[in-house]
Amino acid sequence: MPLIPSPINQAAGKAKSLLAERSVRAQIAEASRGLEQADVVLFFAEGPGQIYQLDTWLETFERLADQGMSTGVVLMDALSARQALDSTSLPLLFTRSMEQIEKQLAAMGTKAICYVNNSQRNFTMLRFNGPAHIHLNHGESEKASMVSNQLKAYDYACVAGPAAVERIREAIPRFDLAHLVQIGRPQLDALTPSGPSARIRVLYAPTWEGDSQAMAYSSITALGERILAQLQADDRFEVRFRPHPKTGDVSGEARKSITALKSNYTSLLDPTADAGQSLVWADVAICDISAMSYDAVALNVPLLLAGDRDCKLRQGLPADQLLGHANGLADRVAALAASGVSGRQKQLAQYFFATTEPGGATEKLGQLLRSV
């Protein structure tokens, strides 16, 4: 898979962000959304291309705020801050100055700083003594990025469950497992199940191509057209196509594939903002090795797993839930919808997630944040 760097696009994005700074500060002030007090903050230093990582946590932290926890969001990119104004009710601090962030958090007596990725600027923020530094990540999967040595830098790393603890123990030498806190997936706690449908609802939610061969899990180029064509042609199905928002960012081949698929299957594009809500809509989910497939397991949505990378999820699923080359896909999907969640998939839910009880994961996260 050819990886295509985009320094010109990156420079253009930074320039747009710089030009937007003054107006974004004014918008935050006019909306009375400035951060004045927070015991806990979400820290996000990246531009809007990665803001989906932050978005996955906003509703969870809004629920914690409704429960009385003083929370807010710290952003270092103007365009991301502008998007956050629309996507969350939480108060915002926007600045490119790490010194200003530290000064304000110290003045507020902030007790915890939460990180949704391993951005390089996280590690500048980590120099700040006092608050607990807590890594949340933005999903559970067996991708290589989930076992980064960078986890050692944080006071605590929240993980979904026993599988993540085992994975980190095996992959990261000299890691102190006492720093891991199993919380499940709080993002899945507030989803609303869809009502009954006359047709079988199928979600195809492939991941992106990744920024290296080690992270190349996407089925878009090899199977995307084959999957969507078979499902769309069969009246038994209502189909939604939800590609990862970063698809095509680094691979010319993936960019060509996603452009063609979006053009040819415009009517199938998922209109739902929340990825978890898309999963609970589905009777069957077709996913790559990514957070979407593991969330399908947690939510008891019958899963067809694409890709041939060896992993615990692939090992644990029955053979008829491994997509392979997607031969005879329509009948396989119909059979899986009829049979429901397999016993082996239910066992995997217990292995990957500390809790799948509604509200249980948010409670576990809240307990950690209140304890620091």
Q: Does the pLDDT at position 141 exceed 90?
A: no
What tokens were used for 53? 């990582």
Q: Are residues 106 and 223 in the same domain?
A: no
pLDDT of 2 reads: 42
211 versus 247: the higher-pLDDT residue is 247
The region of weakest confidence among 52-61, 83-92, 134-143, 314-323 is 134-143
Looking up tokens 């932050």, which residue turns up? 54
pLDDT at 77: 97
**By the 8 A CB rule, do 39 and 111 touch?**
yes
- Statement to judge: residues 17 and 164 lie in one domain: yes
With vertex at residue 39, the alpha carbon angle to CA 34 and CA 44, rounded to the nearest 5 degrees, is 60
Q: Looking at the structure, tell me whether residues 242 and 162 fall in a common domain.
A: no
What tens digit of pLDDT does each residue of 161-196 get? 999 999 999 999 999 999 999 999 999 998 998 888
191 assigned to some structural domain: no
CA distance 61 to 67: 10
Q: What confidence score (pLDDT) does residue 185 get?
A: 96
Range of the domain at 342: 200-352
The alpha helices in 290-352, defined as continuous H runs, are 291-298, 312-316, 329-339, 343-352
Q: Is residue 45 part of a domain?
A: yes
Would the pLDDT of 238 be above 50?
A: yes
Question: pLDDT averaged over the chain?
Answer: 95
Q: Judge whether residue 8 has pLDDT over 70.
A: no
User: How confident is the model over 45-67, as pLDDT tens digits?
Assistant: 999 999 999 999 999 999 999 99
Share of the chain above pLDDT 90, in %: 90
Residue 192 lies in a domain: no
What average pLDDT does this structure show over 20-33? 96
* Residue 17, pLDDT score: 87
pLDDT of amino acid 12 = 76
Residues 176 and 216 in one domain: no
pLDDT at 300: 96
Please check whether residues 171 and 205 belong to one and the same domain: no
Q: 275 — phi, psi (to 5°)?
A: -65, -40
Give the pLDDT score at 143: 82
Check residue 3 and give its pLDDT: 44
**Element spanning 304, H or E:** strand 303-305
> What is the reported pLDDT for 66?
98
Query: SS3 for 201?
Result: strand
Greatest alpha-carbon span in the chain:
62
Q: How far is CA 259 from CA 64, 266, 352, in A?
A: 39, 10, 34
Judge if 243 and 334 occupy the same domain: yes
Number of domains the chain contains: 2
Helix (H, G, I), strand (E, B) or coil at 305: strand
Distance of alpha carbon 167 from alpha carbon 175, whole angstroms: 11
- The helix (run of H) or strand (run of E) holding residue 263 is helix 252-264
Let me know if residue 195 belongs to a domain.
no
Amino acid at 349: A
> Is the confidence at residue 11, as pLDDT, over 80?
no
Residues 245, 178 share a domain: no
Greater model confidence, 195 or 33: 33
149 is a domain residue: yes
Tell whether 132 and 267 lie within a shared domain.
no
Question: Is 221 inside a domain boundary?
Answer: yes
Which sign, positive or negative, has the C-alpha torsion 46, 158, 52, 216? Answer: positive
pLDDT in tens, 197-224: 999 999 999 999 998 888 899 999 999 9
304 backbone dihedrals φ, ψ, rounded to 5°: -105, 115
DSSP for 220-261?
HHHHHHHHHHHHHT-TTEEEEE---TTTTSS-HHHHHHHHHH
pLDDT > 70? residue 1: no
Question: Same domain, yes or no, for 168 and 204?
Answer: no
Residue 75 falls within a domain, yes or no? yes
Would you state the structure tokens that stand for residue 14, as one six-digit string? 């930074």
Predicted confidence band of residue 329 (pLDDT cuts 50, 70, 90)? very high
Are 29 and 173 members of one domain? yes
Residues 35 and 144 in one domain: yes
Per-residue pLDDT averaged across 288-314, rounded?
Answer: 96
Q: Both 144 and 244 in a single domain?
A: no
Candidates 74, 203, 201, 188; CA nearest to 131 is 74
Question: What span, in angstroms and rounded, lies between the C-alpha atoms of 288 and 254?
Answer: 15
Q: What is the pLDDT of residues 253-269, one digit of tens each?
A: 999 999 999 999 999 99
Angstrom CA distances, 206 to 37, 83, 132, 217, stand at: 39, 24, 35, 9
CA distance 226 to 236: 17
- The CATH number of residue 308's host domain is 3.40.50.2000
User: How many residues make up the chain in this entry?
Assistant: 372
Give the global pTM: 0.88
Residues 74-114 pLDDT 10s: 999 999 999 999 999 999 999 999 999 999 999 999 999 99
d(CA 45, CA 95): 10
Distance CA 310, CA 296 (A): 19
Place of tokens 């010109």: 8
CA-to-CA distance for 159 and 178, rounded, in angstroms? 12
For residues 349-368, average pLDDT: 96
pLDDT at 135 (0 to 100): 98
Which helix (H) or strand (E) is 92 found in, with range?
strand 92-94
Q: Please answer whether residues 71 and 38 qualify as being in contact, where contact means their C-beta atoms are separated by less than 8 angstroms.
A: yes
Q: What is the pLDDT of residues 148-164, one digit of tens each?
A: 999 999 999 999 999 99
Gap between the Cα atoms of 66 and 202, Å rounded: 34
- 5-19, 138-152, 192-206, 312-326: least confidently modelled range: 5-19
Whether residue 95 lies inside any domain: the answer is yes
